[in-house]
Structure 1
Amino acid sequence: MMKKHILITLTFLFTVSSISCKKESKPEEKSISVTEEITPETEIDTINWYTDLCEMNSKFDVSKYSKKQLKDTHHLWFGTIGYINFDGYPVFNLDDKTEPIEVLEERYAEGKAELENLEVVDLPYWNNLKQLKLLELKSFYEHEKTAYFAYANPKNLVKTVYDVKAKVYVDALVSGDSLKMIAAWKKLNEEQKANNGSPEHVEKKFQSRLNSPQCLEYAKMDLFTFGWNNNTKKNCKGCEVLENRDPMYEEYKKLFISTTEECSEP
């Protein structure tokens, strides 16, 4: 009788444990925001959207925003819009294929048109964010255009704005003096070794290029890319707010009557 009682107890505990495990493996779904009251007159629609780890389902008042406006606003906040992929000069290898300036002009025009055509919700926060994105895109375009021409004629770098620690690299590039360029390149190499998890690999690569017949071209490429470009200050007043997307997330949630989320483990 005692054995039977123990067996029943163990069976019950195993069942409870199994149910508990099944619940834990299921993605968590919960309501995360309710921003306004729903009245009988409110016409409601739903929209799915996402963040890095979560999929959202939100209810919204169709008299306030359209689904297109909400999708375009999400794209403004969460998409990669506002950047230009352009290879106008070699970065890691002299043999890298570079693109003509016409490619930059074309991609800027396309990106600008895409941004301008976004139909974001008509609220000050999102209208301002759209203008900042346009300003960021323009500053990125102007920087890449400057870099394109400066690589061919480093004297153009004198007119650019950069961190003071890059002065030694810019001066060497502008001078065109081989000894100054090699000295600045060695200094840059030491800086890169100090900030790399495999300094031996960095040194080996540097020594290989230093002893190459193309050593001055390699020096120019590294001084330009890692000495100047990585230390430039782009002209985009107010764009620092674009670096923090958390406030955008909070503002976006405010557009909905309610939102539920289903998140995966990070």
Structure 2
Amino acid sequence: MKKLIFTLSFALSMTVWGQKTAAKNNNLVLYAYQTFNCDNKGYFDPGKYKKEEIDGVYKLLYQFNTSLFDSHTVFKLSDLEDVRKNKNSYLQQLEKQYQEKKKELYDLKVINLPEWKKLHQETIQVFESEYLLKKEELIAYSDPSSLKNSTFYKTCKEYIDAVSSPDKQKMYAVWKKHTEEKSRNNGDPQAVMAKFNAQFNDPKKDDYALIDLCGFAFHNCANASFRSEPDDEGIIYQKFDKIFTKLKQDCDEP
């Protein structure tokens, strides 16, 4: 009799557990989203997460993870001329994009866990720094001395002092040093130095120096100062996927 009671009790408890599990799964909410090469259908527990908060985290990972501003990269003299000619227009565009994206970014609701709160704050910091860098560069192509007041002056002092100095020889020396360093990391260092020598002997050499020192040396230095190391392992993206109790993925072949 005791064995029969135990068996019935165990069977009843397993039935109840199964019913609870089924009920829990039935309460899951679908969240469809796209990643780099996958269409995803995640099912989350509304008792743990709110859709608005998942939306916020998703936007941080897949929308605010790249540049949000128009790029006016200066590679050649015609690019430099364009930026100088349209500086005011480009600055207005930048300001408009900044104000629009700032409100959206700052108002995001994210899941109340340390990793997502941290990601939100880090994304805001990168956003603000990128805006300042874009603005400073647009102005500096017309007025290099403006970089003396740069947010990144302490970090990138060598390049800023070079382009803003009235002593052109100082600028040329830093330009040559930068080019030599660049050539050592190039598969054809002779070609890099040959290009430098041709530009150095060109009547427009001051503009060529500005393109190299402002558009590349200063930009890379400043950009590296506020961007964290890339998440090569994709750990933060894996954490996002784990928000979902069930996840179905339809991915393109790499």
**TM-score, structure 2 length as denominator?**
0.71
Q: Greater helix share, 1 or 2? A: 2
What is the alpha-carbon distance in structure 2 between the residues aligned to residue 234 and residue 263 of structure 1?
32
Q: Is the 8 A contact 1:143 1:234 kept in 2?
A: no
Structure 1: stretches of 5+ with no match in the other structure:
1-36
Amino acid at match of 1:256: F
Question: What code does the residue aligned with 2:77 have?
Answer: L
Provide the rounded CA distance (Å) in 2 between the counterparts of 1:128 and 1:186. Answer: 41
Taking structure 1 as reference, are residues 240 and 193 closer, same or farther at Cα in structure 2, changes over 3 Å only?
Answer: closer
Measured in 2, the distance between the counterparts of 1:47 and 1:233 equals 35
Matched, 1:83 2:67: yes
What is the rounded CA distance, in whole Å, between the counterparts of 2:39 and 2:137 in structure 1? 40
- Tell me, in whole angstroms, the C-alpha distance in 2 between the residues paired with 1:198 and 1:234: 25
**Match for residue 248 of structure 1?**
236
Say which is worse superposed, 144-153 or 251-260, in terms of deviation.
144-153
- Residue 127 of structure 1 corresponds to 117
Q: Which residue of 2 aligns with 1:49?
A: 33
Equivalent residues, number: 223
Alpha-carbon distance, 1:108 to partner: 0.9
Matching residue of 2:179: 189
Match of 2:200 in 1: 210
Question: Alpha carbon RMSD of aligned pairs, Å?
Answer: 3.1
TM-score by length of 1: 0.68
Distance 1:187 1:263, change over 3 A: same
Contact kept, 8 Å, 1:82 with 1:137, in 2: the verdict is no
Query: Residues 240 and 219 of structure 1: is their aligned pair in 2 closer, same or farther, counting only changes over 3 Å?
Result: closer
- For 2:231, the aligned partner's letter is N
Alpha carbons 1:72, 1:120 under 8 Å: kept: yes
Given that residues 172 and 180 in structure 1 are in contact (C-alpha distance below 8 angstroms), is that contact kept between their aligned partners in structure 2?
Answer: yes
Q: Equivalent pairs: percent with the same residue?
A: 30
Distance in 1 between residues matched to 2:128 and 2:36, nearest whole Å: 27
Offset, 1:170: 3.4
4+ residue runs over 6 A deviation: none
Which residue number in structure 2 is paired with residue 175 of structure 1? 165
Looking at structure 2, the residues matched to 180 and 210 of structure 1 have their Cα atoms a distance apart, in angstroms, of 14
Q: 1:180 to 1:120 in 2, by over 3 A?
A: same
* Alpha-carbon distance change, 118 to 172 in structure 1, aligned in 2, over 3 angstroms: closer
- Shift of residue 200, structure 1, vs aligned partner: 4.3
Alignment of 1:109 with 2:92, yes or no, is no
* Residues 1:40 and 2:23 are matched in the alignment: yes
Q: Distance in 2 between matches of 1:214 and 1:207?
A: 12
Contact preservation (8 Å) 2:30, 2:44: yes
- Is it true that 1:162 corresponds to 2:150 in the alignment? no
Cα contact 1:162–1:228 (8 A) shared by 2? no
